[in-house]
Structure 1
Amino acid sequence: MATTRSEYELTPVKFSRLTTRGLILGLSLSQVIVLAVAAVVFVASLYAGGSTALFTAPAWASAVGLAVVGIGGRKLVEWVPITGHWLWRKAARQTAYRRRIAKPRPAGTLALPGDAAALRQYEDPETGAVMVHDPHQQTLTAILEVNHPAFVLMDPGEQERRVHAWGRVLSTVCRSGRVARLQVLERTLPDSGSGLTQWWAEHGRDDGSWVANTYRELIERAGPTGERHITTISIQLDMRAAARQIRAAGGSLRGAAAVLGQEMHTLTTALRAADLKPSDWYTPGQLAVMLRTAYDPQVASSLDRAGDLGRDLATAGPVAVEETWSRLRSDSAHHAVLWISQWPRAMVYPGFLAPILLSSGIRRSVTMLCDPVRSDQAARDIRKKKTEYISDATQRQRIGQIEDASQSAEYQDVLQQEADLTAGHGVLRFTGLIAVSADTVDELDAAVAAIEQAAIQASCETRLLVAQQAQAFVAAALPLGRGI
């Protein structure tokens, strides 16, 4: 039987570049404002005559330096609001959190620090699933766990088929128009060894032989030192976009839960069609365990054997959180969050993230935030980008500036997005975050260095987020669909 090679070969893919185009000639709005102020001061000093230009030199020279000099991938003028906000939070004592044990919390809250303290829980009476309500962003989020076989162990033909199936899942989310965000979270936790013990009890043959005794001793020793991987998918309903359907379903959170239930059913159907095995939607107890183990990883193995203990959302949050410029400390662990600032610029195969996802001995959470864009809005954004790129190219040609290859590559990315949208594909904005946890600061630094090296092997560029570690940790390590 004759077969073509395309049936068994993986198709490489290419990611769009992070746009660097600014307001004009690659300059951002803040740079343009600072340079305009410097120009006004300099010209005014020339008209004043005399040595005025020398006296005003510190002012306009500092403004030019703020707009031109860069540190850590940002211009100095872009660091001003970040540093100012951090200093304000530091002065207002918003970088430290201590739970008030004697003071009861409002009913229905999640006992989380920072801006996540506003989140509320709602238990759907129809499905028993817990839904997280954000009253400020007007969103409602539900979570489920997904079981899947090891992707890297499949043959190329099966990998290709599953990649296309996952693309259909994302396309389903895009066509809804009511989904604000889809979050895919893959994290590692210390294993108590209960999984291996349960497998041996169900499938093993303990006949007292030397082989059986050796295998049982190996499980007893290696089980508690292992780790387990958990993958969750969170779907978030945009209550503003679904306002009409919510009113038709009865209004309030009950109506929103009914509308979200429709999206949940559509998502589970799409996941099963993609040969993924979704679990039941998370209950309050399951979400409580996940929140607790994110802030306190060392308690994970104990909660596995504790039955119903630790499954109360009212007490699932951290006891103490201390945020620094580039680190976060909570309960029993230190954390650091990395942002995947650049995806592979060359053609890569779907398993390119394997060095990060399969890194052993490191407690980490990898999050993909997928924000679907309506087709009409995506078309408008693409037209706007095309117009701006053509205008910038014309302006650069007029002043004699040489065209940069990276700018041409970004324009080609816009054209490719337009072609994909015309072909019927959905448009999503992806944000990748990696939260790394360790018991000590030294272990955390070593783990961050290992993850950065793994990202290089995956052809990705990562940057350590600063002045926003608490907010970034909630987005990267918790399945609540939070952005940053």
Structure 2
Amino acid sequence: MASQQNRSKAEFELRAVQFSRLTRRGILLGLSLPQLIVLAIGVLSVVGALYAGGGVLLAWTAPVWVVCAVLAWTPIGGRKLIEWVPVTVRWLLRTSARQTVFRMRVVKPRPAGTLALPGDAAALREWEDPETGAAMIHDPHAQTLTAIVAVSHPAFVLLDPGEQERRVATWGRVLATACRSGRIARLQICERTLPDGGSGLVEWWRRHGQDDESWTSTVYRELIDRAGPAGERHATTISVALDMRAAARQIRTSGGGIKGAAAVLRQEMTTLTTALRAAELAVTGWLTPPEVAVILRAAYDPAAAASLERHGDIGRSLATAGPVAVTETWDRLRSDSAHHAVLWISEWPRSQVYPGFLAPVLLSSGIQRAFSLICTPIRSDQAARDIRKKKTELISDAAQRQKMGQIEDASQTAEYGDVLQQEADLTAGHGVLRFTGLISISAPTVEELDTAVAAIEQAAIQASCETRRLVGQQAQAFTVAALPLCRTV
């Protein structure tokens, strides 16, 4: 009896998890390709000066090899100085070409079937599935077709440990389904905080209230109008992107083109819906074009979110759901009625943590933000090749450091242990997923935005995560973090 009790207790005990470290390996001895290039230039300048003219020429070439050494070894903001060069050059080119400023052309309408989004998202096309009515977003450059489903769930932190462990296991089966498919480019879980427009109160009053123009009904109606937009609610969506290149044969079998891709995507939608229901996630339904339009409009214009929710007949067209004006700066974004900043979770917890460790970030109140977790499935054969390559590079680097008399670093040993664990998991039949976490924060003013960003950074520290602001690419990062379109940055 005691053994059975201990076994049942172990089955329902909440287990800790651990993430792999962000790889920081380079081509040679931990040096990246840009570092090796500038160091090679510096070494060649020194050797050439010594052979050609000795110390005098070495002094003349000092600016070259000193600059190369500074570029290769000086860290700024978590990166070496040479790694900032392509980011800065790209930003200067975009600024000179005025690609950081977007203004909607009111007189000249957008082409039919396109989304009114700025930047590289302007190429996205919309397709309404005639069978399910779902909105499918086609990315012609990435060759993906995306559908979005709304889900609801109970508060995870309020569940008992046994129920939390069971839900974690069932969610793992959902991710395993995506890994085994072979046709899914990526999944995106987007959790957003929105001002409660009071649609629930309005719907309740419409069904149960008696609006007879009496004093009582008038007071109730005024209270609902005032109290509705004062709240805050959370909305969760899961986006699935079909890899049209990987599913080319199935698409041709289904008729080819967007219609064939939509037929293949419907199969993945059915599989995902079944897996979500098995995980006890309530599937509200696949979002229609009007519902997607409201999400896009509310992301760029948060001040209109409550009105769009309360009035179901406005702002429901994808052709006009984009922003009117967008201005991008180095470290933030300004859209119609808000300022935005995007943070990247550069380091997940290095120590063991329990599921629900992101609660300080997700449950932060009074901050309008969108948290996006992008899951990219890796094919088993590709994952095996990557693991073998990593093992070879780590062993080679260790041998090279031993020849040079360098001391082995604990972080390098831990990274090698992560690779061995990934190899063991892959051998056991588990899928491999690459996770990317982004947090988009919005506020009416710059001062409020800075305060909200500082609060989220502190919440991330409590969650044992490290965040970095994606400078020089805020516009592209915002479309990935705040919009459930299953894109990458």
Give the shorter-chain TM-score range.
over 0.9
Q: Deviation digits for residues 66-91 of structure 1, max 9, x if unmatched?
A: 00001000111001000000000000
Q: 2:123 and 2:86 mapped to 1: Cα distance? A: 24
Which residue does 2:212 correspond to in 1?
none
Q: Does 1:114 align with 2:145?
A: no
Q: 1:156 and 1:180 mapped to 2: Cα distance? A: 33
Q: Deviation digits for residues 360-381 of structure 1, max 9, x if unmatched?
A: 0000000000000000110110
- Assess, with a 3 A threshold, how the Cα gap between structure 1 residues 215 and 319 changes in structure 2: closer, same or farther: closer
Aligned to 1:28, which of 25, 32, 43? 32
Q: Which amino acid aligns with 1:257?
A: A
Which residue does 2:53 correspond to in 1?
49
Which residue does 2:264 correspond to in 1?
259
Aligned to 1:19, which of 18, 23, 27? 23
Which residue does 1:39 correspond to in 2?
43
Q: Which amino acid aligns with 2:406?
A: Q
Q: 2:411 and 2:207 mapped to 1: Cα distance? A: 57
Q: Does 1:9 align with 2:19?
A: no
- Assess, with a 3 A threshold, how the Cα gap between structure 1 residues 111 and 220 changes in structure 2: closer, same or farther: closer
Which residue does 2:184 correspond to in 1?
179
Q: Which amino acid aligns with 2:257?
A: S
Which residue does 2:453 correspond to in 1?
448
Q: 1:23 and 1:198 mapped to 2: Cα distance? A: 61
Q: Deviation digits for residues 288-333 of structure 1, max 9, x if unmatched?
A: 0000000001101101121221100000000000000000000000
- Assess, with a 3 A threshold, how the Cα gap between structure 1 residues 265 and 12 changes in structure 2: closer, same or farther: same
Q: 1:131 and 1:236 mapped to 2: Cα distance? A: 9
Which residue does 2:166 correspond to in 1?
161
Aligned to 1:409, which of 411, 414, 421? 414
Q: 1:422 and 1:39 mapped to 2: Cα distance? A: 44
2:12 touches 2:166 (CA, 8 Å); kept in 1?
no
Q: Which amino acid aligns with 2:395?
A: I
Q: Does 1:283 align with 2:288?
A: yes
For residues 296-445 of structure 1, the aligned pairs below 5 Å read 296-445=301-450
Q: 2:206 and 2:364 mapped to 1: Cα distance? A: 29
- Secondary structure in structure 2 of the residue aligned to 1:3: helix
- The offset of 1:110, in angstroms, is 0.5
In the superposition, the TM-score normalised over structure 2's length comes to: 0.95
For residues 88-107 of structure 1, the aligned pairs below 5 Å read 88-107=93-112
- Assess, with a 3 A threshold, how the Cα gap between structure 1 residues 101 and 43 changes in structure 2: closer, same or farther: same
- Assess, with a 3 A threshold, how the Cα gap between structure 1 residues 297 and 393 changes in structure 2: closer, same or farther: same
- The offset of 1:218, in angstroms, is 8.3
In the superposition, the TM-score normalised over structure 1's length comes to: 0.96
- The offset of 1:217, in angstroms, is 9.6
Q: 1:49 and 1:163 mapped to 2: Cα distance? A: 68
Q: Deviation digits for residues 248-295 of structure 1, max 9, x if unmatched?
A: 000000000000000000000000000001122111100000000000
- Assess, with a 3 A threshold, how the Cα gap between structure 1 residues 321 and 217 changes in structure 2: closer, same or farther: closer
Q: Deviation digits for residues 413-443 of structure 1, max 9, x if unmatched?
A: 0011111111111100000000000000000
Aligned to 1:232, which of 222, 234, 237? 237
2:198 touches 2:310 (CA, 8 Å); kept in 1?
no
- Bigger drift between 419-428 and 194-203 goes to 194-203
* Contiguous gaps of at least 5 residues in structure 1: 205-213
Which residue does 2:216 correspond to in 1?
none
Q: 2:370 and 2:182 mapped to 1: Cα distance? A: 28
Q: 1:157 and 1:217 mapped to 2: Cα distance? A: 45
CA RMSD of aligned residues (A): 2.1
Q: 2:355 and 2:336 mapped to 1: Cα distance? A: 37
Q: Deviation digits for residues 89-126 of structure 1, max 9, x if unmatched?
A: 00000000000000011110001000000000011111
Number of equivalenced pairs: 479
- Secondary structure in structure 2 of the residue aligned to 1:348: coil
Q: Does 1:462 align with 2:467?
A: yes
Which residue does 1:124 correspond to in 2?
129
- Assess, with a 3 A threshold, how the Cα gap between structure 1 residues 70 and 162 changes in structure 2: closer, same or farther: same
Q: 1:439 and 1:7 mapped to 2: Cα distance? A: 48
- The offset of 1:135, in angstroms, is 0.6
Aligned to 2:83, which of 78, 81, 84? 78
Q: Deviation digits for residues 108-159 of structure 1, max 9, x if unmatched?
A: 0001000000000011111111100011111100001001111111000000
